[in-house]
Chains A and B, each alone.
Chain A
Amino acid sequence: MIFNPLNNDMTSATELHSKRQYDTYPLDSKQLIAAYKVMRLTRLFDHKCIALQRTGQIGTYPSCEGAEAIGVGTAQAMRSDDVFVPYYRDQAAQIVRGVQLEEMLLYWGGDERGSDFKGPRQDMPNCIPISTQCTHACGIASAFKIRHQKRVSVCSLGDGATSKGDFAEALNLAAVWQLPVVFVINSNQWAISVPRHRQCAAKQLIDKATAAGFTGVQVDGNNFGAVVTTVAAAIARARAGKGPGLIECLSYRLSDHTTADDASRYRQKRELEQARQQDPLTQLSAQLRARGEWNDSLEAELNAHCHRHIDRAVANYQNTPIRSAESMFEHLYAERPAQLDWQFARIKTQELNDE
């Protein structure tokens, strides 16, 4: 079960997806409200994760503050049977995809079960080696194409990730093979301490699509409507067999790179303050308030609901027993080779001795 932002209650991921309208743009208020709710949930969850890290309850954590519109927009543009290929700052998209908060806590808390998503079984787990997920997305898309499945693989990456060969290799192949794959760049202006202009001399990262022989689109990544509309259009094209898409979502990393980072060492406070003016959540709620669709009491209600949901997830995470020591041998090979038996036996006795 996951949190359903449409009606503030728990529902299954498939239910959530079947309710969503994909191709009816411009967006109606209902979709905007749904998006806002899940963006708020993501933000509050993100803050909770930072607090948990600060108090030693999870490991190093990469905040997604500022990336909520990109993630929610991207995931809402997808069908449930599409495959999402994330990097590590994709909490927002993952929540929409049906990854559970406690799974994310398990992952960042250091438990492999956090990548055993109960919801989107075919989505890829977080990818830490930068940009390496891009070619996986191509492989997944070619499987769809080979099987004549009308599915799309959607790959998320950072702006720094576009400097790696993997990205160029993936775009190149995607275009040559006309794959149903869409790449979405969270162009948050920083790759740890390296600013965008030190990363790439091209004015737009989508120029790299031009080099591969197709056209990319730049959008305001702080504007949910812009993101969802653009990604949906690219996905529709890809699904129709018209080849890959590249969308560069201009945004700003409102947080430190991770909880292990201190961004004040390398970026100006003023820059961050300016970027905060463009906060995707503030913008969307202002839009809704202007339409008379949102107010303080709805906000308070949503916050209370999100907190309850998050607290439940944290409790579940904290109550999850640690895996056995020998679990490191599980699923290493489809069947544990006899050669590993003695090591397996050894760790079991080690565990007994520790108790």
Chain B
Amino acid sequence: MSKITLLEAVNMALQYELQRDSNMVLLGEDIGLNGGVFRATANLQSEFGPTRVMDTPLAESMIAGVAIGMAVQGLHPVAEIQFMGFIYAAMEQIVGHAARLRNRTCGRLSCPLVIRAPFGGGIHAPEHHSESTETLFAHIPGLRVVIPSSPKRAYGLLLAAIRNPDPVIFLEPKRIYRAVKHTIANDGHALPLDSCFTLREGRDITLVTWGAQVMETLEAAEVLAHKGVKAEVIDVATLKPLDMKTIYSSVAYTGRCIIIHEAARSFGAGAEIAANLAEHALQDLKAPVVRVCGYDTVMPLLRNEHYYLPSSRDIVTAAEKLVSFN
């Protein structure tokens, strides 16, 4: 067992499952010989052949539509959209078909597919390569939205996503593709979907986040610890369906909650979590629920993107304000 990155964990999960499940196929742009622009599918075509690891022509709506057709026929397609910024052409297929096919046919047909896409900012990428629009998918009934934030969770959650009979949008935080390395047993062990992961325990304040912001949040928790504030850090991991239970039980202790996401503030997933807390956990709250988010602007180009992204300092500042609230 060697230590691997989140990106390598994605590759390892795909490789494991291609071997285990003969119905599984991969499709996307440049995923074959090139192994994907980030190399998430490196070496898979040479191992499994072009029939199971397919380079497609360049058309995102088609990729999603073809994956739907394959899934309806019982294959388990895992489609790659090269960047989340280009997934919008596929929205019609995802929202109009994948999400509703089982429901509208009363279970006669279904859509067991995964659509993977790297998302998020902070890698100095060109325009359209840095947004976080996960909330667009999390709003859609019938979909599952899964976001890993570590190599271990990438491996286990991707396996779970592929094995899940529902359509899953699997968003990979590309800023941390190579940020940390974990030792992972390649044992095909899937992690549970629909449940948050508590990454750090603390009784003073609950920090809820997902994706690359898990890094900033953990960093902030460390800083806060030095200042005597014990923060609990929750990685949401599955945005839809959202595991509020874990968040409620943490807030029951801390009475304080900050939601941190890179995506624009308004109508972001943080609003959903805050609304749930207001509806169901008001009696536990000692302070208002606060969000630390991206701004409601177009994501700036690379020179200024750091102004847009929440930093660990932003989180610390918000947390200090919140613990002194009364």
- Chain A interface (Cβ < 8 Å from any Cβ of B): 83, 85, 112-113, 115-117, 121-122, 124-125, 129, 132, 134-144, 146, 153, 165-166, 169-170, 172-173, 176, 328, 330-334, 337-340
Q: Which residues of B contact A338 (CB under 8 A)?
A: 194, 241
Given the complex of chains A and B, what is the CA–CA distance between A116 and B106 in angstroms? 6
Identity of the chain B residue whose Cβ is nearest the Cβ of A340 in the assembled complex: B241
Residues in A with CB closer than 8 Å to B73 are 83, 122, 139-140, 143-144
* Residues B62 and A173 in contact, CB atoms below 8 Å apart: yes
- Whether B65 and A339, one on each chain, are in contact in the complex, defined by CB atoms closer than 8 angstroms, is no
Least distance between B125 CB and chain A CB atoms (Å):
25
Contact A136 B57 (CB under 8 A): no
CB of B126 within 8 Å of the partner chain: no
**A331 and B71 contact, CB distance less than 8 A:** no
* A139 x B142 contact (CB < 8 A): no
> Which residues of B125-144 are within 8 A (CB) of A?
141-142, 144
Chain B residues with CB under 8 Å of A141's CB are 69
B65-96 vs A, CB cutoff 8 Å, 1 = contact: the mask equals 11111111111010000000000010011001
Residue of B nearest to A155 (CB): B69
Residues of B contacting A116 in the complex (Cβ-Cβ under 8 angstroms): 105-108
B194 touches A136 (CB 8 A): no
**A115 partner, pick from B68, B106, B141, beta carbons under 8 A:** B106
Question: Quick one: which of B59, B64, B67, B106 contacts A331, CB cutoff 8 A?
Answer: B106
Contacts of A176 in B (CB 8 A): 57
State in angstroms the CA–CA spacing of A84 and B244 once bound together.
42
Given contacts A112-B105, A136-B72, A169-B59, contact A332 B141 (CB under 8 A): yes
Given A143-B74, A169-B57, A339-B241, also A333-B166 (CB < 8 A) = yes
Q: Which residues of A contact B96 (CB under 8 A)?
A: 129, 132
13 contacts between A and B (CB under 8 A): A115-B104, A121-B108, A122-B72, A124-B72, A132-B61, A139-B67, A139-B70, A166-B61, A330-B106, A331-B105, A333-B102, A333-B144, A339-B194
Q: B108 to chain A: closest CB distance in Å?
A: 5
Assuming A334-B165, A339-B241, is B107 touching A139 (CB within 8 A)?
no
Q: Within the assembled complex, what's the spacing in Å between the Cα atoms of A217 and B320? A: 72
| Interfacial residues, chain B to chain A (CB-CB below 8 A) | 25, 51-52, 56-57, 59, 61-62, 64-75, 77, 89, 92-93, 96-97, 102-110, 141-142, 144, 164-166, 194, 241-244
A173 adjacent to B56 (CB under 8 Å): yes
Residues of chain A lying within 8 A (CB to CB) of residue B110: 334
Query: How far, in angstroms, from A282 to B183 measured CA to CA in the complex?
Result: 74
- Complex: chain A residue closest to B143, CB-CB: A333
> Which chain B residues border A166 with CB–CB below 8 Å?
61-62, 65
Having A132-B61, A132-B92, A136-B65, one finds 5 other A-B pairs with CB under 8 Å, namely A115-B108, A125-B104, A129-B92, A139-B73, A331-B107
CB-defined contacts of B97 to chain A, threshold 8 Å: 129, 132, 136
Contacts of B102 in A (CB 8 A): 331-334
Bound together, the chains give a CA A172 to CA B56 distance in angstroms of 10
Q: Check B108–A138 contact: CB distance below 8 A.
A: no
CB distance from B324 to the nearest CB of A (A): 34
Q: How far is the CB of B103 from chain A (nearest CB, A)?
A: 5
State in angstroms the CA–CA spacing of A139 and B27 once bound together: 11
Asked if B68 and A172 make an inter-chain contact with CB atoms under 8 angstroms apart, the answer reads no
Are B93 and A135 interface neighbours, CB within 8 A?
Answer: yes
* Complex CA–CA separation, A351 to B25 (angstroms): 43
Q: B106 contacts which chain A residues (CB < 8 A)?
A: 112-113, 115-116, 330-331
